[in-house]
């Protein structure tokens, strides 16, 4: 308990990853993390597709902040890099090239692989869920990219305020 008093939750992590941040800071300070089988965690799943989209965006934002704060490599997800390449390819090419289609296929493949790897779904369930899974992966990546920009803007603004003597 004294650890949590000295190391409160990071209020910048408004979107998920807050418990992961606490654990990471505990490990950095050579503290032990214990598992209690009697403890209960309640996780609310979204009941609508729009709620799931908002949740995935928030998860992306929190993941970016956490990874950048703790210097995790890569600081941006592979899916987000591929998504950025696809977007730039579609914007700056007069007609999409084979490389853009390859990146789209790679993005879809990674999204489907992550779903299949969980082992919770059958192959048919994975195939049927591809469109929704890919959309959620795009939203998650967009949240990650937004979170990375927000993190750097926050750090930059904080640095500028310190230079001016403001707190």
- pLDDT above 70 for 120: no
Summarize pLDDT for 137-149 with one digit per residue, the tens: 788 888 888 888 8
Give the tokens for residue 94. Answer: 């007069």
Summarize pLDDT for 7-27 with one digit per residue, the tens: 888 887 776 788 888 888 999
In this prediction, residue 125 carries a pLDDT of 74
* Cα distance from N-terminal residue to C-terminal residue, the chain: 29
- pLDDT above 80 for 75: no
Please report the sign of the dihedral spanned by the C-alpha atoms of residue 155, residue 157, residue 163, residue 167: negative
Side-chain-facing half-sphere of 12: CA atoms under 13 Å: 17
- pLDDT above 80 for 111: no
- pLDDT above 70 for 161: no
């Amino acid at each position: 308990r004294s650890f949590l008093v000295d190391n409160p939750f990071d209020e910048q992590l408004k979107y998920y990853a807050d418990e992961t941040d606490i654990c990471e800071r505990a490990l950095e300070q050579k503290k032990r993390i214990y598992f209690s089988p009697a403890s209960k965690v309640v996780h609310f799943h979204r009941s609508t597709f729009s709620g799931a989209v908002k949740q995935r965006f928030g998860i992306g934002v929190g993941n970016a902040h956490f990874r950048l704060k703790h210097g995790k490599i890569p600081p941006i997800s592979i899916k987000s890099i591929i998504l950025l390449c696809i977007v730039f390819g579609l914007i700056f090419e007069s007609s999409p090239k084979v490389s853009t289609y390859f990146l789209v296929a790679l993005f879809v493949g990674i999204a489907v692989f992550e779903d299949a790897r969980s082992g919770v779904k059958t192959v048919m369930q994975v195939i049927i869920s591809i469109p929704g899974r890919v959309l959620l992966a795009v939203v998650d990546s967009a949240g990650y990219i937004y979170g990375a920009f927000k993190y750097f803007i926050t750090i930059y603004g904080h640095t500028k305020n310190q230079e001016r003597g403001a707190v």
